[in-house]
């Protein structure tokens, strides 16, 4: 009887100790030690700092001194022009772009009336621009093509009050056919309504980028 009681006492003592000991030790044999977790935290802190530094470098490389400059975008599929600065749209306008028509001369010369695409720049700005009729204009109307310097080629008042020169004979200019804005009706130039044209003329400078797609 007494032997049993003594054994019981010993078991009770051991049980009391074990019960008071922190729980979960046996089950955590595979979990990392505090030291290991500290190392992992240090490693992650180092990696985060490194990534932040690298990202900052990349962000700086992506910055462009021209980021705050105005630029123009022409969507020839939808006949829309936008004037932008950074992420901001300053002006959205209906425009006319190349008719995509094809004209052929008996001599074999031919023209496709398409607006140019790509990255262009405003090469010049004109007030009261004059249209020098090109050969295709006569061919299109079945008229004889005059000599290159023939004064008959000079036509006033058909390009609106202003023009922005894009090069290769292409311009952003006004039109008499404002009801056609938003469609493909030009010979390749970008036609704009009077109000929008004035705003463009006042906002852009020589060198302003024009992206046409």
Partner 1 sequence: MRKNAGYGWLLLLFLLPAQPSLSVAAAAEEGEREKLLEQRKQLAATVEKLRQEQDSLVFLKTMQASDSKYLVLDLRAAKGQLRYKNRTLKDLHILQREGTPARTQKAVVLTKKIEGPRQRYALVFGRSLILQPRGAAPYREDSIPRAVLTKRDFSALYYALEDGAMAYVLL
Q: What six digits make up the tokens of 81?
A: 């022009």
Binding string to partner 1 for residues 65 to 84, with x set by CB under 8 A, is what?
--x---x-x-xxxx---x-x
d(CA 190, CA 91): 15
DSSP string spanning the chain?
Answer: -HHHHHHHHHHHHHHHHHHHSPTTTGGGSSSPPHHHHHHHHHHHHHHHHHHHHHHHHHHHHH--TTTTSEEEEEETTTTEEEEEETTEEEEEEEEEEE---EEE-TTS-EEE-----EEEE--EEEES-EEE--HHHHHHTT-----TT-GGGEEESSS-SEEEEEETTEEEE--S-GGGTTSEEESSSEEE-HHHHHHHHHH--TT-EEEE-
Answer for which of 51, 132, 143, 154 binds partner 1 (CB under 8 A) is: 51
**Measured from the CB of residue 164, what is the shortest distance to partner 1 in angstroms?**
18
d(CA 105, CA 141): 11
Q: Which stretch binds partner 1 (CB under 8 A): 39-47, 125-133, 134-142, 166-174?
A: 39-47
Answer for which of 27, 29, 34, 141 binds partner 1 (CB under 8 A) is: 34
Answer for which of 26, 27, 30, 61 binds partner 1 (CB under 8 A) is: 61
- Please report whether residue 17 would count as binding partner 1 according to CB under 8 A: yes
Q: Which stretch binds partner 1 (CB under 8 A): 17-25, 93-101, 132-140, 141-149?
A: 17-25
- Please report whether residue 132 would count as binding partner 1 according to CB under 8 A: no
Binding string to partner 1 for residues 172 to 211, with x set by CB under 8 A, is what?
-------------------------------------x-x
Count of other CB atoms within 10 angstroms of residue 194: 13
Answer for which of 110, 119, 128, 168 binds partner 1 (CB under 8 A) is: 119
What residues line the site for partner 1 (CB under 8 A)? Answer: 2-3, 5-6, 9-10, 12-14, 16-17, 20-22, 34, 37-38, 40-41, 44-45, 47-48, 51-52, 54-55, 58-59, 61-62, 64, 67, 71, 73, 75-78, 82, 84, 87, 89, 119, 209, 211, 213
């Amino acid at each position: 009887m007494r032997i049993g009681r003594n054994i019981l006492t010993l078991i009770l003592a051991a049980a009391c100790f074990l019960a008071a000991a922190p729980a979960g030790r046996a089950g955590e044999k595979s979990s990392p030690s505090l030291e290991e977790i500290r190392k992992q935290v240090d490693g992650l802190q180092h990696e985060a700092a490194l990534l932040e530094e690298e990202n900052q470098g990349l962000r700086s490389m992506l910055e462009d001194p021209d980021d705050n400059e105005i630029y123009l975008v022409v969507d020839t599929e939808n006949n829309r022009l936008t004037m932008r600065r950074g992420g901001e749209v300053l002006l959205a306008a209906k425009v006319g772009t190349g008719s995509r028509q094809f004209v052929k001369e008996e001599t074999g010369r031919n023209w496709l009336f398409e607006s140019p695409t790509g990255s262009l720049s405003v090469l010049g700005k004109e007030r009261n621009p004059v249209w020098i009729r090109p050969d295709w204009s006569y061919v299109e109307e079945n008229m004889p093509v005059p000599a290159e310097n023939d004064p008959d080629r000079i036509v006033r008042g058909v390009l609106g009050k202003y023009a922005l020169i894009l090069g290769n004979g292409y311009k952003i200019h006004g039109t008499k056919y404002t009801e056609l804005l938003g469609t493909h009706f030009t010979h390749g130039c970008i036609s704009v309504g009077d109000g929008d044209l004035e705003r463009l003329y006042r906002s852009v400078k020589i060198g302003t980028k024009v992206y046409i797609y």
